[in-house]
């Protein structure tokens, strides 16, 4: 027994302290995001009527007001409007805190890179919401609201309408994050342009299916309106990956040979 080796306990203690420190940092960043979200939601409360009117506009005057079927539905709807605005306004802070938490694990990338990633991701998210609001949502809503007017009378509640609209806009914003995600993945060396080119055909099919699932109506026109920019964003991601993570011509040639073998 005297000759038995005893493992040192210090590395385990250090690992435990490191884990506790990471959990503490994660909690602090969550608290910061929560504080900003609360403040942004308070701001959203004062603009809830304007946001409500904006979300009704894609209906093209087909809906002048929403039918309330519960006593507290008006209040709950206004609270949801404020929270929705708060979430959208908090996106840049959420992205920054999330990146600041994981950045040390992937290596120092510099302040400029951080600003590029946060600015690109935030801009693309807002661009996705704007594109869905101005181009896709009006087409989808007009199609759905004009379906069978001789058989159906519109009586839409705010619970269903606003959930329908806000979820679609958030989904459009998330879909537009593809170039930003590609930038980060290329910086980490996870993807490069030849790899994205190799799976271009798969991406076109996947984007088409995803567009069909996200569009608010089953008509092909609104699906094409969302699918085309999604495919364009994938092509933009190839350009970003080529710029951020350039590869040798040998790698490109090898992947080209693989494509020829597959075909």
The answer to whether residues 149 and 65 touch, using CB atoms and an 8 Å cutoff, is no
- Tell whether 9 is covered by a domain: no
Q: For residues 202-215, give the mean pLDDT.
A: 91
Please indicate whether residue 166 or residue 2 has the higher confidence score (pLDDT).
166
> Does residue 155 carry a pLDDT above 60?
yes
* Distances 31 to 41, 67, 178 between C-alpha atoms, Å: 15, 37, 27
> Minimum mean pLDDT among 11-15, 102-106, 112-116: which range?
11-15
The share of the chain scoring above pLDDT 90, in percent, equals 52
**What band does 8 get if pLDDT is binned at 50, 70 and 90?**
very low
The answer to whether residues 184 and 177 touch, using CB atoms and an 8 Å cutoff, is no
Q: For residues 213-242, give the mean pLDDT.
A: 88
- Tell whether 239 is covered by a domain: yes
Query: Which of 3-17, 33-47, 199-213 has maximum average pLDDT?
Result: 33-47
Q: Tell me, what's the pLDDT at 25? A: 87
The share of the chain scoring above pLDDT 70, in percent, equals 85
> Does residue 2 carry a pLDDT above 60?
no
* Entry pTM: 0.82
Torsion angles phi and psi, residue 149, rounded to 5: -65, -25
How far apart CA 176 and CA 191 sit, in angstroms, is 18
Q: What is the pLDDT of residues 181-193, one digit of tens each?
A: 998 888 878 888 9
Q: How far is CA 170 from the centre of its chain?
A: 7
Residue whose C-alpha is closest to residue 165's, from 157, 155, 153, 177: 157
Q: For residues 134-140, give the mean pLDDT.
A: 92
- Tell whether 118 is covered by a domain: yes
Residue whose C-alpha is closest to residue 181's, from 104, 91, 100, 95: 95
Look at the chain and report how many structural domains it folds into: 1
The answer to whether residues 222 and 136 touch, using CB atoms and an 8 Å cutoff, is yes
Please indicate whether residue 127 or residue 247 has the higher confidence score (pLDDT).
127
- Tell whether 98 is covered by a domain: yes
Q: Which residues contact 26 (CB under 8 A, 6 or more apart)?
A: 101
The mean predicted confidence, pLDDT, of the chain is 85
Q: For residues 238-257, give the mean pLDDT.
A: 67
Q: Tell me, what's the pLDDT at 109? A: 64
- Tell whether 222 is covered by a domain: yes
* Domain encompassing residue 165: 16-252
Helix (H) or strand (E) segment spanning residue 224:
helix 220-244
* Distances 19 to 4, 102, 104, 106 between C-alpha atoms, Å: 30, 14, 14, 17
> Does residue 92 carry a pLDDT above 90?
yes
> Does residue 162 carry a pLDDT above 80?
yes
Q: For residues 207-215, give the mean pLDDT.
A: 90
- Tell whether 102 is covered by a domain: yes
- Tell whether 125 is covered by a domain: yes
How far apart CA 200 and CA 259 sit, in angstroms, is 11
- Tell whether 7 is covered by a domain: no
């Amino acid at each position: 027994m005297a000759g038995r080796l005893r493992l040192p306990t210090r590395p385990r203690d250090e690992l435990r302290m490191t884990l506790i420190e990471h959990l503490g940092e994660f909690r602090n960043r969550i608290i910061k995001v929560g504080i900003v979200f609360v403040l942004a939601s308070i701001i959203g409360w004062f603009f809830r009527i304007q946001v409500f009117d904006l979300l009704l506009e894609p209906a093209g005057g087909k809906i002048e007001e929403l039918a309330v079927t519960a006593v507290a539905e008006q209040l709950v709807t206004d609270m949801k409007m404020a929270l929705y605005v708060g979430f959208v306004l908090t996106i840049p802070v959420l992205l920054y805190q999330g990146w600041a938490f994981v950045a040390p694990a992937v290596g120092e990338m510099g302040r400029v890179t951080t600003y590029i990633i946060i600015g690109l991701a935030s801009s693309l998210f807002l661009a996705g919401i704007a594109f869905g609001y101005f181009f896709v949502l009006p087409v989808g809503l007009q199609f759905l609201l004009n379906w069978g007017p001789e058989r159906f009378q519109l009586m839409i509640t705010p619970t269903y309408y606003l959930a329908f609209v806000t979820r679609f806009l958030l989904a459009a914003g998330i879909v537009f994050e593809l170039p930003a995600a590609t930038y980060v993945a290329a910086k980490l060396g996870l993807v490069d342009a030849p790899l994205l080119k190799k799976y271009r055909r798969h991406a076109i099919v996947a984007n088409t299916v995803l567009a069909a699932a996200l569009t608010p109506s089953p008509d092909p026109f609104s699906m094409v309106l969302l699918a085309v920019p999604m495919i364009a964003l994938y092509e933009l991601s190839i350009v970003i990956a080529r710029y951020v993570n350039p590869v040798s011509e040998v790698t490109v040639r090898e992947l080209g040979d693989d494509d020829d073998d597959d075909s």
